[in-house]
Amino acid sequence: MTDTTADTSWLTSVVDWSVSLMEIIGPAGAGIAIALENLFPPLPSEVILPMAGLTASRDTFTLFEAIAWTTAGSVVGAFMLYTLGAWLGIARLRAIARKMPLMKPEDIDRTVAWFQRHGGKAIFFGRMIPLFRSLISIPAGVTRMPLLKFGLLTTLGSAIWNTIFVLAGYFLGESWPLVERYADFFQSVVIVAVVGGIGWFVTARIRSIIRERRDGAAPASD
């Protein structure tokens, strides 16, 4: 009961804050809210975007302005995270991995190699997946993906995602939480998949360490 009340209070605060920002600043407020959502993933775009559509339906600004400004906010936030990834760089990430338990510098090398092969698709489709929407920009910066390519794919992916939710808020009006339910389900599936992937990685790495120690101990005993 307490958790449900806390979640409702959190969402209510986000809704009130985003609507106030849009009513005071106009469509630029929607862009700022989405830029912040990119930098702080706990801020749910699935809530902010429909509110931009709902505010547009009240003639505070146009539907086109809502989509254009939220997409611009997504791109700005993505480039900020790209800059973070570029600052980290491969060498710094390998050094960090060397100090972390269960991690190896080779893990960074494999990830970078995968991203260099599939980075374009990862950026485009990643912009439409909860959690990954923000984080996918960091490896793009690490691998120094060409800025024009990164900007174009980010804009296209963000425009599709933003348009869907802005239109939902515009046409559904006060019934926009219906969309949020489906978005929450999708996000839960993504979270379960991520947790499962982390669990598989940790289990496989621990088994590998045990096997290496066992193989190393065998010659010593001989």
Give DSSP secondary structure letters for 36-81: HHHHSTTS-HHHHHHHHHHHHHTTSS-HHHHHHHHHHHHHHHHHHH
CA–CA distance, 148 with 81 (Å, rounded to integer): 15
Considering the domain boundaries, does residue 105 fall inside one?
A: yes
Residue 19 included in any domain: yes
pLDDT greater than 60 at residue 1: no
Q: Give a yes or no: residue 186 inside a domain.
A: no
Question: 23 in a domain, yes or no?
Answer: yes
At 70, the pLDDT band (50, 70, 90 cuts) reads very high
Q: What digits encode the pLDDT tens for the residues 118-128?
A: 889 999 998 88
Given a cut of 60, is residue 113 above it in pLDDT? yes
Contact between 129 and 143 under an 8 Å Cβ cutoff? The reply is no
CA dist 21 and 210 (Å) reads: 54
Our count of domains for the chain comes to 1
Distance CA 148, CA 138 (A): 16
Residue 5 in tokens: 């009340």
- Residue 6 domain flag: yes
Residues, the chain, total? 222
Q: Looking at the predicted structure, is the pLDDT value of residue 8 above 70?
A: no
The parent domain of residue 62 ranges over 2-177
Count other Cβ atoms within 10 Å, centred on residue 47: 24
In our burial notation (b when 16+ CB lie closer than 10 A, e otherwise), range 32-46 reads bbbbbbbeeeebbbb
Domain for residue 213, yes or no? no
Assess if residue 199 is contained within a domain.
Answer: no
Q: 103: which 2 tokens? A: 């991690």
CA–CA separation, 60 and 151 (whole Å): 29
